[in-house]
Structure 1
Amino acid sequence: MTDIYVKGGPIPPRRRRAQLNWLLTVLPAFPLVLLVLRLWYLSRQDLPTMLLLVQYISPLGMISALFITLIWTVPAAILVLRALGGILLVSEPDNAGRSLLAVTALRMPDWVVMLATMMAAFTWQLRLLPTLGMLIVSILGVTASLRFRTERWVMLWITVGVPVLTGALVLIFVWPGIVTALRAGETTTALMLGVPPLLGPLLTGPVPRWSARLVTHWPAVAAALVAPLAIGVIFLRAPVLPNSAIEVGPADGASHVVRGQLISVDDTSTTMLQGDGAVLFIPNDQVRSKTLCPEPVRPPDSVVAVRGWRVEESALSWIAPTHRDNAVDPRCLGRPLNPS
């Protein structure tokens, strides 16, 4: 009674258990590998420095940085698996039981898809929201084809009417951004805004049987191979220590500013990690002042905005309060607070 019965026969239980065992082994280990690589990268491949960072850096802080940096990847993986697996299920039902992708989509609860959709709506950039709409209508269409085989006009409305209406509404909303992107020469941004609403109606039902695995299984395999590499590159550049500037000098003499990342402060000294990987232990009696320095503001990747919403901003970053300092602390620029 442990088999999964679909057309084409079940996946052999032993093979399925072996695949799941490997998956459950790799998934918990992947975040740990990312955290270790982040410390190795931060220490500039110096083992004593890495051991010092391990001693003082809070695991909760690193996990928080990992979560904030990569939160958008979780709904992306869930929705893409559900959409591709659903298309494979309706396109090649005779052999779907032999595909882990199709079985994963078949077993995925609806509430998981709903939570992933809400998370994506808040964390994805505006230029990715048309892709989100395409994935949603695709999942709705293939789910209706699998579960609700009712009157023809109802199925036609779910698989054609809803995707066309949704695509039209999305195009109306992003049309000013498409025009701006084309005028600014940002062809990629224009394609990301305009193409997914057109593809939505094509992904709500079966594809030709001969191409089912080609357009579902192999893109999923390619994404699974590329995703860990891309996630690692993104997280290796995420900050895990606060940028600080410390004014150092005797009480009756000239002072200078040390900039870097603050590791720890104890009873005797303040430990700083500089940009070149050098570790400084500054006696506390020489510390005259210190401040936190904000992260450098990156110039925008795109000049395109849709109805006042920049395409590189997520809904969460757009509506959430942000802290912006109008004046730059001179210590963050390497100058003493009160030069003599």
Structure 2
Amino acid sequence: MSDIFVPGPVIAPRRRRSQLNWLLTVLPAFPLMLLVLRLWYLSRQDLPTMLLLVQYINPLGMVSALFITLSWAVPAVILTLRVLGGILLVSKPEDAGRSPISIAALRMPDWVVLIAIMIAAFTWQLRLLPTLELMIVAVLGLTAVQRLRAEPWLMRWITLGVPILTGALVLIFVWPGVVAAVRGGDYGTALMLAVPPLLGPLFTGPVPARWARLVTHWPAVGAALALPIVIGVTFLRAPVLPSSAIEVGPAGEPAREVIRGQLIAVDDTSTTMLQPGGEVIFIPNGEVQSKTLCPEPVNPPESAVAVRGWAVEESVLEWIAPTRKVTEIDPRCLGRPRDRAGE
């Protein structure tokens, strides 16, 4: 007889283990589904065009675009599980073996949390770094409560003193940005900068046992439902093919037209382009006069707030890494042939 019909306290752990196995089986398929959906979206829901893209697009390029676009999501998942699971562990220890988030937090190695913090510090926007500081002090405090058996004064320092001191330092650093955001009417940015440093002491200790599952499971469920949608929408807009412009015309004559789109492939006979409307054009190589890469359009920033010269929408990596500045747009990217008067 199946375990489902056998009475006894052992059923629930086995059923939960089975559900966890199913989750671990389905989870690796999510990135593959994202890649397929990206090609389907790029082909404008046309199956022959999607099959052509599958034939020519390098999978490594797709994976690279997925990693660069969604590098912020992995540490967000790890740190959220560690904080919510840690709160449940210290608030209701008897649920340690019955809650998926408490099991994940209990079995999560410290080095995984450390790597997640380092990735988040470099890839999260400045306006999210106060939230990262909140998660760091919460992990430190919860870990001390779970594992450290120290004097009361040391526990108070770890769970109260460190969060208060760290939050004060972060608040001092971001205060000019808070003032600028309030003056500019950007209250959402002001809250994201000012509120997390004040909440550190609330996340380093237990909550009432009767509220433990409510304040941990429901946020985890909400995040689990929202995160795939946010990741999907973000990745579906990420570029996976180079934007190009090609001058077309008979050899030795002025260019007849400029074709703009995304370069799919170049073979011995033709150059394949995907136009913005989803049409695929095959250009004979004998008619290709010149090619150029076109910069991706830069969306205007959602917030003009900066903290000590650091824009709130920039990550540490974007702030310190060298970038290519486009000072002049090639006329071919605007649909006009080059001026050959000086050639």
Structures share a fold, TM > 0.5?
A: yes
1:13 to partner: Cα distance: 4.8
Q: How high is the TM-score relative to the length of structure 2?
A: 0.94
Matched residue SS, 2:292? strand
Quote the Cα distance in structure 1 between the aligned partners of 2:174 and 2:148: 32
Quote the Cα distance in structure 2 between the aligned partners of 1:64 and 1:238: 11
1:13/1:92 CA distance change after superposition, 3 Å: closer
Asked whether 1:328 is paired with 2:329, we answer yes
Asked whether 1:215 is paired with 2:215, we answer yes
TM superposition outliers: structure 1 runs of 4+ over 3 Å: 9-13
1:15 to partner: Cα distance: 2.3
Quote the Cα distance in structure 2 between the aligned partners of 1:132 and 1:11: 38
The answer for the alignment partner of 2:123 in structure 1 is 123
The answer for the alignment partner of 1:269 in structure 2 is 270
1:178-193 to structure 2, matched below 5 A, reads: 178-193=178-193
1:255 to partner: Cα distance: 2.1
Contact 2:86 2:142 in 1 (8 A): yes
Asked whether 1:307 is paired with 2:318, we answer no
Quote the Cα distance in structure 2 between the aligned partners of 1:149 and 1:33: 46
Which amino acid counterpart does residue 65 of structure 2 have in structure 1?
A
Quote the Cα distance in structure 2 between the aligned partners of 1:194 and 1:11: 47
1:221/1:250 CA distance change after superposition, 3 Å: same
Quote the Cα distance in structure 2 between the aligned partners of 1:175 and 1:126: 13
Quote the Cα distance in structure 2 between the aligned partners of 1:82 and 1:19: 20
1:21 to partner: Cα distance: 1.4
Quote the Cα distance in structure 1 between the aligned partners of 2:331 and 2:312: 33
The answer for the alignment partner of 1:50 in structure 2 is 50
Quote the Cα distance in structure 2 between the aligned partners of 1:11 and 1:104: 20
1:195-206 to structure 2, matched below 5 A, reads: 195-206=195-206
Contact 1:244 1:332 in 2 (8 A): yes
The answer for the alignment partner of 1:257 in structure 2 is 258
1:218-257 Cα distance to aligned partner (Å, 9 max, x none): 1101111111111111100000000000000112244210
Quote the Cα distance in structure 1 between the aligned partners of 2:307 and 2:98: 44
Q: Which runs of 5+ in 2 are unaligned?
A: 1-8
1:88-143 Cα distance to aligned partner (Å, 9 max, x none): 00011122321111011011011110000000000000000000000011111111
Aligned residues: 332
The answer for the alignment partner of 1:295 in structure 2 is 296
Contact 1:72 1:123 in 2 (8 A): yes
Contact 2:255 2:337 in 1 (8 A): no
Contact 1:139 1:204 in 2 (8 A): yes
1:11 to partner: Cα distance: 8.9
1:75-94 to structure 2, matched below 5 A, reads: 75-94=75-94
The answer for the alignment partner of 1:5 in structure 2 is none
The answer for the alignment partner of 1:95 in structure 2 is 95
1:20 to partner: Cα distance: 2.5
Quote the Cα distance in structure 1 between the aligned partners of 2:160 and 2:104: 25
Quote the Cα distance in structure 2 between the aligned partners of 1:29 and 1:142: 33
Quote the Cα distance in structure 2 between the aligned partners of 1:11 and 1:221: 23
Segment of structure 1 superposing worse, 164-173 or 225-234 = 225-234
Contact 1:11 1:98 in 2 (8 A): no
Which amino acid counterpart does residue 179 of structure 2 have in structure 1?
V
The answer for the alignment partner of 2:319 in structure 1 is 318
1:62-111 Cα distance to aligned partner (Å, 9 max, x none): 00000000000000000000000000000111223211110110110111
1:137-161 Cα distance to aligned partner (Å, 9 max, x none): 1111111001002100000000000
Which amino acid counterpart does residue 330 of structure 1 have in structure 2?
P
Matched residue SS, 1:98? coil
The answer for the alignment partner of 2:3 in structure 1 is none
Quote the Cα distance in structure 1 between the aligned partners of 2:129 and 2:334: 38
Matched residue SS, 2:258? strand
The answer for the alignment partner of 1:108 in structure 2 is 108
1:254/1:16 CA distance change after superposition, 3 Å: closer
1:209 to partner: Cα distance: 1.4
The answer for the alignment partner of 1:248 in structure 2 is 248
Q: Which runs of 5+ in 1 are unaligned?
A: 1-8
Quote the Cα distance in structure 2 between the aligned partners of 1:108 and 1:242: 39
The answer for the alignment partner of 2:279 in structure 1 is 278
Contact 2:245 2:293 in 1 (8 A): yes
Matched residue SS, 2:79? helix
Quote the Cα distance in structure 1 between the aligned partners of 2:311 and 2:254: 49
Indicate the RMSD between aligned Cα atoms, in angstroms.
1.3
1:338 to partner: Cα distance: 2.4
1:152-167 to structure 2, matched below 5 A, reads: 152-167=152-167
Segment of structure 1 superposing worse, 328-337 or 208-217 = 208-217
Quote the Cα distance in structure 2 between the aligned partners of 1:272 and 1:50: 13
